[in-house]
């Protein structure tokens, strides 16, 4: 493989053993790998450096884990060691053998007496029971296509429950897209199975916490691991069941380092380790939807996933009525349309909660001088600095550069500099003004709260703010997509999307899919408690303010018809030979100048054609172009798209091209090149 290093050891060590080895002047963590994958014999007279120490008391990482890491490294074009060590807890990488031994000697918390006792099991609906029965009797993988509020989480719980009861050594892996969804789901699993049976695993934990969870999973003490995308690499020797909740979410794709898809690796791992895999979503990714297509006369084989459908909400709750507002017919610069403002006022006066979605944080995207056309551009990026009114700062959301808001225009001195556009901070301020005369049923003023990345920086702030919403202490919730996913708000009866049009005109072919999913997920927060809605005597609503209210995305959203939306999008994808009907990779180059970045990509493309690399005849290499945000932190970025109708051909070519890219990288003609990387199955183009 050319990536393994050889060391001497006084005794044979089984593959998967964790060791400390010298590397240059440092001492680092290493994993003993399989002998049959080692490079050829060493040159005669080679003196091997000895292994510095073995992490005793830890069972070796098993073969399925090593195969997963090797596949991820091979498929995503990364070094084996990079993926293997990144998959281990960072705290473990810094421990010497004697420190690790002390760590293992620490007393563990007493086991929960109810750790393996199933509690609070609830009766299943007919649709839930049917889904569980198919999961139990068929091999999968499964795509659980269920409406928001249809009870997908209960299906996860019941399937895991049956698996744990059937096998006392079995383990389950439950993946969620974002950290803020982990505590909520963890509470439900802990309430059902006992706290000591469930461990979290995500980047929001401290190093010692992550190590503790990883060791519990590796030893089999933890029956259930619940975490974000990083948890797909958890060592689970008894793995029998994998759940990927909200499988459509782009957060499952790692965007730094090894750019893997945790969802796709979960499918691969399930097949290799004999574990059933359940993907769940109300708006599945088009790739998963296509992979779960039923057989037809034209396509007798159908897809490779089994599709399970749960269209009904629990308790006969209705999906929200979608109301579209043509903003071209509203007063210019209106924040909320007149009918939407009236609807929010009426809901608050009845004691109901409303949610207003704007997927852009800050006060305004840019400050602008009307006299000389100056804009608050970032000096280090080809992007604007966002105006944050709370701390009177201009902040770049790409490189983090922050300055105080100037008192006058830096270019012409005019004091007339004004914000352009709108973010959640401004929307909150304007809602406070528009609803200032509105009273709740107890005759107290309306209470408005904002949840976004700026208001949840402090530790525990996110949980505290969500608790306020659940308790009814908030009447109108303003936020970004953070508030739209997975939260079970029981008293929200109206959801409004105030500015969704930007995604309709994006250059990214996935933008309509993402917008539809976001709006469907947001709308699903309304009317989740059928009993409460019946007591209120009203129907839940979703309002969409748009200058293009008749767009196909909003037409299918109006009827909550995801299958129709998916069919229309898949027809367009097939005509354009886009995924899932083709397979893509991006090669990106970062350099001091755009000319160097694009020159490197052009030279690498020319070298591939000159060498007639294997697989090239089935791969199209497009010319290099700048990224949409082409400069970040004074680094110019360019990309080149690769497309192939066959995944195997693309992989074959990338494997052969890697050495050409490395050779091109060292060509003196490309001085100034900082880095290059390959992104297989990219989500953003």
Cα–Cα dist 255/251, whole Å: 9
Torsion of CA 123, 125, 127, 131, to 10 degrees: 0
**Does 478 share its domain with 594?**
no
- Residues 372, 339 within the same domain: no
Domain range for 631: 583-680
pLDDT computed for residue 120 by the predictor? 56
Q: What is the pLDDT of residues 84-94, one digit of tens each?
A: 988 999 999 88
Q: What angle separates helix 511-523 from helix 562-576, to the nearest 10 degrees?
A: 170
CA distances from 83 to 19, 68, 69, 215, 387 (A): 17, 10, 6, 19, 38
Query: Does 296 lie in the same domain as 275?
Result: yes
Q: Are 275 and 232 in contact (CB under 8 A)?
A: no
Same domain, 527 and 433: yes
Asked which of 273, 291, 310 is the last residue of a domain, the reply is 310
416/432 same-domain check: no
Q: Tell me what percent of the chain is helix, strand and coil, each rounded to the nearest 5.
A: 35, 20, 40
The span from the CA of 261 to the CA of 244, in Å, is 12
Contact between residue 18 and residue 103 where contact means Cβ atoms under 8 Å apart? no
Partners of residue 12 on adjacent β-strands: none
What pLDDT, on the 0 to 100 scale, is given for residue 626?
Answer: 96
- Which pLDDT tens digit goes with each residue over 396-409? 999 999 999 999 99
Domain-embedded: residue 179: yes
SS3 325: strand
Predicted pLDDT of residue 181: 72
> Quick one: 322 and 467 in the same domain?
yes
Q: Are 266 and 236 contained in the same domain? A: yes
Alpha helices in 435-510 (DSSP H): 461-471
Same domain assignment for residues 64 and 213: no
Position 457 scores a pLDDT of 82
List b or e across 141-161, with b for residues whose CB sees 16 or more CB atoms inside 10 angstroms: bbbbbbbbbbbbbbbbbbbbb
466, 596: one domain:
no
295, 310, 325 — which closes off a domain?
Answer: 310
Q: What's the pLDDT at 117? A: 52
Q: Could you say which DSSP state residue 364 is in?
A: B
Mean pLDDT in order along the chain per 10 residues (685 residues): 78 92 90 77 78 91 95 94 91 86 70 48 88 94 91 94 93 91 82 90 90 94 94 96 95 92 97 96 96 90 93 79 93 90 94 93 92 94 93 93 93 91 92 92 93 85 86 92 81 92 84 93 86 86 94 92 95 94 96 95 95 93 94 96 96 94 90 93 89
Binding site as annotated, residues: 369, 372, 378, 381, 396, 399, 409, 412
Q: Tell which of 575, 591, 606 closes a domain.
A: 575
Q: Is-cis flag, bond preceding 580, omega within 30?
A: yes
Q: How many CB atoms lie within 10 A of CB 354?
A: 29
If asked whether residues 514 and 534 sit together in one domain, one would say yes
Q: What pairs with residue 309 in β-bridges?
A: 145
| Pairing verdict, β 635-644 and 620-621 | antiparallel
CA distances in angstroms from 545 to 329, 338, 466, 658, listed in the order given: 11, 11, 25, 48
Q: Is residue 356 part of a domain?
A: yes
CATH number (domain holding residue 627): 3.30.70.100
User: Is 110 within the bounds of a domain?
Assistant: no
DSSP states along 625-636? EEEEEEEETTEE
Q: Are residues 615 and 656 in the same domain?
A: yes
| Long-range Cβ contact pairs of 102-110 (< 8 A, separation 24 or more) | 103/211, 104/57, 104/58, 109/196
Both tokens assigned to 207: 């190093």
**Does 229 reside within a domain?**
yes
Residue 2 placed within a domain:
no
Rounded to whole angstroms, how far apart are CA atoms 210 and 203?
8
CATH number of the domain that residue 531 is part of: 3.40.50.300
Task: Tell me what pLDDT residue 184 has.
Answer: 77
Residues present in the chain in total: 685
DSSP string, 344-357: HHHHHHTT-EEEEE
Alpha-carbon span 1 to 673, nearest angstrom? 26
- Written as one string, the DSSP assignment of 81-146 is HHHHHHTS-HHHHT--HHHHHHHHHSPPPPPPTTTT---S--PPPHHHHHHHHHHHHS---EEEEE
Please enumerate, by residue number, every residue annotated as part of a binding site for Zn(2+): 369, 372, 378, 381, 396, 399, 409, 412
Contact 123, 287 (CB under 8 A): no
- Scored b (16 or more CB within 10 A) or e, 409-434 reads beeeeeeebebebbbbbbbbbebeeb
542 near 495, Cβ under 8 Å? yes
Taking the alpha carbons of 138, 143, 145, 146 in that order, is the dihedral positive or negative? positive
Distance (Å) of CA 200 to CA 163, 227, 458:
19, 5, 20
Number of structural domains in the chain: 5
| 61 and 26 belong to one structural domain | yes
Cβ contacts of 83 within 8 Å, gap of 6 or more: 69, 72, 73, 76, 258, 260
User: Is 652 inside a domain boundary?
Assistant: yes
Q: Does 82 map to a domain?
A: yes
Is 4 within the bounds of a domain?
no
């Amino acid at each position: 493989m050319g990536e393994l290093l050889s060391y001497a050891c006084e005794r044979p060590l089984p593959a998967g053993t964790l060791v400390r080895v010298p590397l240059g002047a440092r001492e680092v963590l290493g994993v003993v790998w399989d002998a049959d994958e080692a490079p050829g014999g060493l040159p005669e007279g080679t003196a091997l450096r000895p292994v510095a120490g073995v992490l005793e008391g830890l069972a070796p990482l098993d073969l399925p884990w090593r195969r997963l890491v090797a596949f991820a490294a091979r498929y995503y074009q990364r070094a084996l060691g990079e993926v293997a060590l990144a998959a281990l807890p960072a705290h473990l990488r810094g421990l010497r053998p004697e420190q690790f031994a002390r760590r293992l000697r620490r007393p563990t918390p007493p086991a929960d007496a109810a750790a393996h006792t199933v509690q609070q099991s609830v009766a299943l609906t007919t649709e839930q029971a049917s889904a569980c029965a198919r999961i139990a009797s068929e091999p999968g993988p499964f795509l659980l296509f269920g409406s928001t509020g249809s009870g997908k989480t209960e299906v996860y719980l019941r399937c895991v429950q049956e698996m744990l009861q059937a096998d006392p050594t079995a383990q389950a892996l439950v993946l969620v897209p974002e950290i803020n969804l982990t505590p909520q789901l963890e509470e439900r699993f802990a309430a059902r199975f006992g706290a000591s049976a469930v461990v979290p695993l995500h980047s929001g934990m401290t190093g010692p916490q992550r190590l503790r969870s990883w060791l519990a999973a590796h030893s089999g003490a933890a029956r259930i691991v619940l975490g974000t995308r990083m948890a797909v690499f958890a060592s689970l020797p008894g793995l029998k069941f994998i759940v990927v909740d909200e499988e459509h979410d782009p957060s499952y794709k790692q965007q730094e380092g090894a750019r893997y898809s945790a969802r796709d690796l979960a499918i691969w791992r399930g097949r290799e380790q004999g574990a059933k895999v359940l993907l769940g979503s109300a708006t599945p990714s088009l790739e998963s939807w296509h992979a779960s297509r039923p057989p037809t006369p034209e396509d007798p084989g159908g897809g490779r996933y089994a599709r399970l459908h749960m269209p009904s909400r629990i308790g006969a709750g209705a999906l929200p009525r979608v109301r579209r507002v043509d903003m071209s017919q509203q007063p210019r610069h209106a924040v909320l349309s007149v009918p939407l403002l009236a609807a929010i006022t009426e809901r608050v006066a009845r004691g109901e909660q409303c949610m207003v979605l704007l997927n852009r944080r800050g006060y305004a995207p840019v400050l602008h001088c009307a006299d000389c056309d100056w804009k608050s551009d970032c000096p280090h990026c080809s992007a604007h600095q966002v105006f944050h009114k709370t701390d009177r700062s201009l902040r770049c959301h790409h490189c983090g550069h922050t300055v105080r808001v100037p008192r006058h225009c830096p270019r012409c001195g005019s004091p007339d500099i004004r914000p352009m556009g709108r973010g959640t901070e401004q929307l909150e301020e304007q809602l406070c003004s528009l609803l200032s005369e509105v009273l709740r049923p107890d005759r107290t003023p309306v209470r408005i709260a904002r949840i976004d990345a700026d208001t949840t920086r402090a530790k525990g702030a996110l949980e505290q703010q969500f608790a306020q919403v659940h308790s009814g202490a908030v009447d109108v919730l303003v936020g970004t997509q953070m508030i739209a996913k997975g939260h079970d708000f029981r008293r929200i009866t109206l959801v409004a999307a105030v500015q969704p049009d930007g995604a309709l005109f994006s250059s990214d072919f996935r933008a309509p899919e993402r917008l539809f999913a976001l709006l469907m997920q947001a709308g699903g927060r309304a009317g989740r408690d059928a009993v409460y809605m019946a007591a209120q005597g009203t129907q839940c609503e979703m309002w969409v303010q748009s200058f293009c209210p008749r767009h196909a995305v909003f037409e299918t959203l109006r009827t909550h018809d995801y299958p129709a939306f998916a069919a229309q999008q898949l027809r367009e994808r097939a005509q354009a030979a886009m995924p899932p009907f083709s397979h893509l990779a991006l090669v990106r180059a970062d350099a001091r100048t755009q000319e160097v970045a694009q020159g490197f990509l052009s030279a690498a493309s020319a070298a591939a054609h000159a060498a007639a690399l294997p697989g090239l005849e089935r791969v199209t290499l497009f010319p290099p172009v700048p990224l949409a945000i082409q400069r970040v932190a004074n680094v110019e970025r360019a990309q080149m798209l690769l497309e192939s109708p066959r995944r195997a051909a693309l992989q074959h070519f990338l494997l052969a091209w890697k050495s050409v890219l490395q050779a091109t990288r060292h060509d003196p003609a490309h001085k100034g090149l900082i880095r290059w990387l390959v992104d297989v199955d990219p989500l953003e183009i």
